[in-house]
Structure 1
Amino acid sequence: FYTNNTFGDIYFKQVNVNKDSTVPVISIVSPVENETFGISPPSFIVEITDPNLDTMWYSIYNNTYQSLNITFTGNGTIDPAVWGALYDRTYSIRFYANDSLGNINFEEIDVIKDLNAIIINITSPAVNEIYGVIAPNFTVEITGPNINTTWYTVDGGINNYIFTKNGTINQVAWNALPDGIVIIKFYANNTLGNKYFTQVHVIKNSSAPIIDIVSPIENEKFGVNPPSFIVEITDPNLDTMWYSIYNNTYQSLNFTFTGNGTIDPTEWSALYDGTYSIRFYANNSLGNINFEEVDVIKDIYAIIINITSPTVNEIYGVIAPNFTVEIIGTNINTTWYTVDLGINNYTFTENGTINQVAWSTLSDGIVIIKFYANNTLGNIYFKQVNVIKDSSAPIINIISPIANEEFGVNPPGFIVEISDPNLDTMWYSIYNNTYQSLNVTFIGNGTIDPAEWGALSNGNYTLRFYANNSLGNINFKEVNITKDIYAIFIDIINPIENEVFGVNSPGFIVEITSAFLNMTWYTLDGGQNNYTFTINETINEAAWDALSDGVVTIRFYANNSVGDINFEQVNVIKDTSAPTINIVSPTENEIFGVNAPNFSVEITDTNLDTMWYTVNNSAKYLFSQDGVINQNAWDAQTDGDVILNFYANDTLGNLANEYIIISKKTPSRAAGPDITPIIILVSVIVGIAVVGGVLGFLIKTGKISLKKLSLRKPPTEKIKPEKPPKEKVKKEKTPTEENKEK
Structure 2
Amino acid sequence: MINFNNISALGENNTHVVDLSKYENNGTSEGDASPTISGKYDGGWTFDGSGDSIDVGSGSSVDFGGETDITIALWANVSQSTSDDNKYIFKGNQFDFQVQNSLNNRIRFEVNNGSWQSCITGNNVAEIGTWAHYTATYNGSEAKIYKNAELVKSCTITGSFNADGDSQSLCISTTTSCGGQDAEINGSIDELMIWNTTLNAQEIYQLYASNFHKYDSDSWELYVNQSYNATNSLPDGNYTFYSFTTNSSGTENTTATRIISVDTTLPEISIIYPSNNTNYSDNGLDINYTAVDTNLDSCWYTNGTGSANATLSNCANITNVTWPENTYNITIWANDSAGNLDNSNVTFTIDYTSPQWQNNETNLTPVIMLGTSIYFNITLNDSRPSHYIFSFYNGSTWINDSAVSYSNGEEIYVVKNTSIASGYINWTWYINDTAGNLNQTNMFNAVMTATDTDEDGVIDLSDPLFYNESNVSSSGITRLNITVGGNATNETFSDLQEVKFYDSSNLLMNFSHNFSETNLDLSNITVNLDSTWMLINLSGQVQAEYNKTIYITDNSFASLCVKDAEISSISNISVECNQANETDFTSCLGGSLTDNGITCEDQGTIIKISN
Shorter-chain TM-score tier = under 0.3
With the length of structure 1 as denominator, give the TM-score of the two structures.
Answer: 0.24
The one of the two structures with greater contact order (alpha-carbon pairs below 8 A, sep at least 6) is 2
Q: TM-score, normalised by structure 2?
A: 0.28
